[in-house]
A and B are shown apart, each in its own frame.
Chain A
């Protein structure tokens, strides 16, 4: 069982900060945590450190265990194995109301019988905060999420976006050491979602709080988080910064899950300094940069992001570069998908495979657009390729 809980202290004085961990120690340490429902292992030995002030995203498809992991942090599920250390203390078995952690629920879970003000004040009253302080804090929170004038409304008299703000204000009111956000923006429409993402990031930076967000939307995770943990079948598949995750995915699955990608299966043929030549049936021999982590000689896959692929009517002019490095592939345009800022072309390669290229529409007039069945040359450098174990 848990020893003395940090929650007791924080409940009495929710100003936070008093239980901050020693320098260098992570705020939250998850150690070998596992949870089984019946025979289904929802979370399977996850270990993870989260620093104070970090914006961390748990990303994964539905059923990958990300929500279960979040619920264990909030205390709604007790882990079967492992420890959850908050500021050095194990809270794995502590009840939800004993933890200095608050959560913003997916469908907000606002109390329908309470006004906006009482929803926000709920946690403060439970902490036995003096009345005057509660009023001040509620006013502060209402201003923070820009809900002035709506304090007396009931949740069902609010729009979706307003409800989302109330939920955020309610979760932040106690100034938790750690804020958990369970798909906080899933119910909002695209435009509102993008605005809210920016506001959440701004808020997190301003308050210096630690946020853990659960999402299945990789764009959302990439936009907001400092680091992303990708989960698959109850395990953490990769923990990395958004850029690293996108540019250096550790596995074929992650490469396909995060963003669009072209994949060509093949076999390593020869090594030439820091270059590797990989023979693929669909795209011929591809010259790629040698990956940082050594890959075996067996089956490999070459991955190229669509926006790294350049298209031109003829091959690149730099003959020397072409000789030594650049991969050029001939083909015809098989499909065009105009997306406004970019256009995605599907190129049917002469070697048989399909290649997606995403081209920025940098001019308003379609001077550089390609038409269907037009012959093009697709090219990319060895450094644009990622080599993955197949």
Chain B
């Protein structure tokens, strides 16, 4: 009976599908991680205690609950290593996202103003790097940036430098890698908003006496803000937790939180601290997300 109703009303099923997904693949794993973050590290299998054993009876379960503590979170706040890692992650993400916006906006704008058939071509060109594995592309950058790599060869050949520049294991290399990898995520949402913008709006602004730069700042840019917001979030959030690019291209003196997580988890085998770090990261990343949502809601309300 109930299953027949679900099939009779596919819309209702579609409406609950995202919630089922969220519970199964986000909330349940999150509960596991939260529990581990409140545990203590132990030389055992699994490497933490207490362990909830549902077969051990009610008293054992109560004792396990009592053994949970927030010590790991206190450690995160008190130890400079973690605070620095968070600050560095946010700084890197902020800088990289700003660079991405500066580079991505003109590209997206140019794409949106191309003749229709060229827009499709440009779109493919933006997406085509995804055809190659992400890791291989980062290794290619190592090749380009290394001591006798392509970049130094070109610079030397053009007599722009007299001896090879150290690129690899610097922040510059890391930013090159991040901007290169995330550019499509910035361009695509920007392009989507700019392409559907009515061209008559820019013409109306020009008609009313606005020179081209004013047309851009007073009309085009404000109207593309939803795309800017989406692009910024799509880049900023994963960059904060980025692990591979800083690990392969940046130096090892300043770690991002993703690298710290990796160290705690795999090198130190300290699952509880790693879990606590992950939870804090999640909370930090919720802030821009909630801000964006509030902004969008306000825009929707204004639209009514």
Contacts and interface: CB of A to CB of B under 8 A. Distances in A.
Contacts of B303: 154, 156
Contact of B209 (A76, A113, A174): A174
A102 interface: yes
B115 to A, nearest CB: 11
A111 B203 contact: no
Interface string B108-139: 00000000000000000000000000000000
Given A154-B303, A156-B303, A174 B198 contact: no
B223 A126 contact: no
Nearest to A157: B304
B166 interface: no
| Interface SS majority for chain B | helix
A74 B207 contact: yes
Given A96-B203, A109-B200, A109-B203, A122 B208 contact: yes
A389 B304 CA distance: 58
B87 interface: no
Nearest to A76: B203
B203 A105 contact: yes
Given A107-B198, A109-B200, A126 B210 contact: yes
Contact of A174 (B205, B208, B218, B222): B208
A97 B207 contact: yes
B281 interface: no
Nearest to A127: B209
B6 interface: no
B225 to A, nearest CB: 8
B200 A123 contact: no
Nearest to A173: B208
A113 B208 contact: no
A113 B205 CA distance: 13
Contact of A107 (B200, B205, B209, B222): B200
A37 to B, nearest CB: 12
A109 B206 CA distance: 12
B205 A111 contact: yes
Nearest to A113: B222
Contacts of B200: 105-107, 109
A109 B208 contact: no
B208 A170 contact: yes
A186 to B, nearest CB: 14
A52 interface: no
B23 interface: no
Most buried by A among B205, B208, B223: B208
B223 A112 contact: yes
A109 B215 CA distance: 13
B222 A123 contact: no
A126 B214 contact: yes
B205 A102 contact: no
Nearest to B198: A109
A97 B222 contact: no
Most buried by A among B201, B205, B207, B219: B207
B10 interface: no
Interface in A80-115: 95-97, 101-103, 105-107, 109-113
Contacts of A157: 304
B206 A96 contact: yes
A11 B207 contact: no
Contacts of A109: 198, 200-201, 203-204
A103 B209 contact: no
A110 B205 CA distance: 9
B57 interface: no
A113 B206 contact: no
Nearest to A123: B208
Contacts of B209: 11, 97, 123, 126-127, 174
B211 interface: yes
Contacts of B159: none
A141 to B, nearest CB: 13
Contacts of B206: 75-76, 95-97
A102 B200 CA distance: 13
B74 interface: no
A126 B303 CA distance: 26
B298 interface: no
Contacts of B214: 126
Contacts of B302: 154
Interface in A10-26: 11
Contacts of B207: 74-76, 96-97, 101-103
B203 A102 contact: no
Interface in B205-253: 205-211, 214, 218-219, 222-223
A106 B203 CA distance: 12
A124 B304 CA distance: 27
A277 B125 CA distance: 72
Nearest to B204: A109
A102 B222 CA distance: 23
A222 B265 CA distance: 81
Contacts of A102: 207-208
Nearest to A106: B200
B207 to A, nearest CB: 5
Contacts of B223: 111-113
Given A102-B207, A107-B198, 14 more contacts: A74-B207, A75-B206, A95-B206, A96-B207, A97-B210, A103-B204, A109-B198, A111-B219, A113-B222, A122-B205, A126-B208, A154-B302, A157-B304, A174-B208
Interface of B: 198, 200-201, 203-211, 214, 218-219, 222-223, 302-304
What are the 10 closest A-B residue pairs judged by CB atoms, nearest first?
A123-B208, A126-B209, A109-B200, A96-B206, A109-B204, A97-B209, A97-B206, A103-B207, A113-B222, A105-B200
